[in-house]
Structure 1
């Protein structure tokens, strides 16, 4: 586990740091996918304004990761989770996902849905390890996506 950090709702001041974190976390996939992954070009300003973004920040306020999720009907949609490469492998992503799951349970959601790019091979093994089951594979918005779901 990494040093201490808190998870809090993102504010408009976090937008640039969230964008830089996404670029850092997803840059490694650009060549394999052939273009920037969707999280690198997301409208973080709108997502933050909608209350869908939470950040992981160290005690000195450096943003080390973030997660984007929202309620949709009877489930939560986990749209994006990213961790700066300097904090990778230290449990930040897992803690952000657990945070999302806790919020979903508090809201009475029945399950969490997410998708990842089929070229992000690490995710294809991480999500099942966290209890998510693959439900579908399809091309959407020009990306080959793998869909997962976890019942709560």
Structure 2
């Protein structure tokens, strides 16, 4: 389960996001957009959810509810917790939450150079819907992806 973040969590959210995206910051030569995001307004809007393990922040999801879809802005897992299934658990939570919100689709976008993430999303049932130049970061390519809510989940053939 994930819980809604509060403003008291802001520093921990910023630290976890910077840690989780550090390999990409190194690869790109500058931080990915989730690292530079101002999370206070998102927390106030109820868009940031935290996954804790024995009282320690293991990961987070930032989601936006729209009329016809959920936008998954960011998933971040602390390096100390990576490889233990927390990213998949957060994806499952997002799908279950979209279903509860009666939204038929989850959408996300990621950097084309984040190949490991793209592969994970594909295994979870996301499909690529297009590629485009990043308007905020010239030279960066965005991969748009979407998944129908209730579709096949990671590791399950349907």
TM range (shorter): over 0.9
SS state at 1:28 partner: helix
Q: Which runs of 4+ in 1 moved over 3 A?
A: none
1:3 — aligned with what? none
2:146 — aligned with what? 149
1:112 — aligned with what? 106
State the Cα deviation string for residues 44-89 of structure 1 (Å, max 9, x = none): 1111111000001122x21111000011121000000000111001
Instruction: Give distance in 2, aligned partners of 1:107 and 1:85.
Output: 30
Structure of greater relative contact order (alpha carbons < 8 Å, 6+ residues apart): 1
Instruction: Give distance in 2, aligned partners of 1:31 and 1:96.
Output: 25
TM-score between both structures, scaled by the size of structure 1: 0.92
SS state at 2:107 partner: strand
Do structure 1's residue 40 and structure 2's residue 29 form an aligned pair?
no
- Let me know the Cα RMSD of the aligned residues: 1.0
Instruction: Give distance in 2, aligned partners of 1:68 and 1:81.
Output: 7
How far does residue 107 in structure 1 lie from its aligned partner after superposition? 1.0
1:53 — aligned with what? 48
Where in structure 2 are the equivalents of 1:36-115 lying within 5 Å? 36-59=31-54, 61-115=55-109
Question: Which one has a larger percent strand, Structure 1 or Structure 2?
Answer: 1
2:152 — aligned with what? none
Instruction: Give distance in 1, aligned partners of 2:43 and 2:114.
Output: 25
Provide the aligned length of Structure 1 versus Structure 2.
146
Do structure 1's residue 14 and structure 2's residue 9 form an aligned pair?
yes
Instruction: Give distance in 2, aligned partners of 1:70 and 1:104.
Output: 10
Q: Which runs of 5+ in 2 are unaligned?
A: 150-158
Q: Which runs of 5+ in 1 are unaligned?
A: 1-5
